[in-house]
């Protein structure tokens, strides 16, 4: 399926059957966990929800501020162009950005994706428009479902990307870019940043400018911040003075909030 969201009326016309029949079939597919019905249509279920045993920590991150994260993910995914070489870290917003890629990019985008995230790999690898490179290393299933360690660092040797998507716990003018706890340490994030031309930071506006405990990178590590409308105007202005562009995601229609 190329589209992430399809309307009942469109499906009825495409298959020359009644809308009642389409709704009945969608109900059966929803019971099998293959999609989620939303107002007027359906949304494809991410591969990571099709029976995989997801770590409770990852589920908690995905469910926290789900609507806001969906908005940020869609805005971030809109920055991806055909032919891009990309790096995704193992954060929840990076995963949701991967899930928000358009059907055209997934099927004919000629993308190359480098990641240490197993959920991102499983989400993108089946699509013909994406070449997925999973970094080797020690598998950490308990919280991150990703690879880590010295082997992961070595796997980046010789690789380069146009854009990197990095989930941040917070971004503070003094502390810099504070990493999510699941990063464990900053060496991998720094190595990923060094391997790409543009770093796109992902963080909800409610969490920027807040002091949190965690490993931090210099504020200059990021080129762009994708956040939501709650990001304070003063903070947006201050980041601009530091050379960081800020994209504030727009509110999305209800039908596309389920990624």
Quick one: 39 and 99 in the same domain?
no
Domain that holds residue 31: 5-44
| pTM for the whole structure | 0.79
Tens-level pLDDT at each residue, the chain (259 residues): 445 556 788 888 888 899 888 888 877 776 655 565 655 566 665 554 445 566 677 777 777 777 889 899 999 999 999 999 999 999 889 999 998 898 889 989 999 999 999 989 988 988 899 999 999 999 887 677 889 889 999 999 999 999 999 999 889 888 889 887 655 567 899 999 999 999 999 999 988 877 666 678 888 899 999 999 999 999 999 999 999 999 999 876 544 433 3
Quick one: 74 and 16 in the same domain?
no
Segments of 92-186 assigned E as strands: 111-115, 130-134, 138-140, 146-148, 161-172, 176-179
The conformation of residue 193, written as its DSSP 8-state character, comes to H
Quick one: 162 and 78 in the same domain?
yes
Quick one: 29 and 152 in the same domain?
no
Rounded Cα distance between 139 and 129, Å, is: 26
Burial 211-249 (b: 16+ CB within 10 A, else e): eeeebbbebebbbbbbbbeebeeebbeebeeeebebbbb
Quick one: 102 and 228 in the same domain?
yes
Q: How many domains does the chain have?
A: 2
β-strand partners of 247? 226
CATH of the domain at 79: 3.40.50.1360
- In the chain the first and final C-alpha atoms are separated, in Å, by 15
Quick one: 232 and 104 in the same domain?
yes
Quick one: 176 and 212 in the same domain?
yes
Quick one: 103 and 221 in the same domain?
yes
Quick one: 159 and 38 in the same domain?
no
Quick one: 64 and 180 in the same domain?
yes
Quick one: 33 and 139 in the same domain?
no
Quick one: 28 and 132 in the same domain?
no
Phi-psi label, residue 131: left if phi above 0, alpha if psi -120 to 50, beta otherwise:
beta
β-strand partners of 196? 161
- Going by their DSSP bridges, the two strands 216-217 and 176-179 should be labelled as antiparallel
């Amino acid at each position: 399926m190329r589209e992430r969201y399809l309307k009942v009326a469109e499906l009825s016309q495409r298959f020359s059957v009644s809308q009642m029949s389409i709704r009945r079939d969608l109900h059966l597919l929803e019971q099998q966990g293959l999609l989620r019905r939303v107002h007027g249509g359906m949304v494809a279920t991410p591969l990571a929800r099709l029976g995989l045993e997801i770590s409770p920590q990852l589920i908690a991150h995905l469910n926290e501020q789900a609507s806001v994260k969906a908005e940020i993910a869609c805005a971030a995914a809109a920055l991806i162009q055909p032919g891009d070489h990309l790096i995704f870290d193992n954060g929840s917003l990076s995963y949701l950005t991967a899930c928000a890629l358009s059907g055209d990019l997934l099927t004919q985008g000629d993308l190359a994706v480098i990641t240490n995230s197993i959920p991102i790999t499983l989400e993108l690898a089946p699509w013909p428009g994406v070449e997925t490179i999973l970094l080797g290393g020690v598998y950490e299933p308990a919280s991150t479902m990703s690879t880590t360690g010295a082997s992961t660092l070595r796997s980046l040797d010789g690789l380069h990307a146009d854009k990197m998507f990095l989930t941040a716990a917070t971004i503070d003018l003094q502390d810099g870019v504070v990493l999510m706890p699941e990063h464990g340490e900053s060496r991998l994030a720094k190595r990923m940043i060094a391997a790409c031309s543009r770093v796109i930071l992902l963080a909800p506006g409610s969490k920027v400018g807040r002091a949190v405990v965690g490993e931090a990178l210099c504020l200059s590590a990021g080129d762009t911040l994708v956040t939501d409308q709650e990001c304070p105007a003063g903070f947006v202005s201050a980041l601009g003075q530091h050379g960081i562009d800020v994209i504030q995601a727009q509110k999305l229609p209800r039908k596309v909030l389920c990624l």
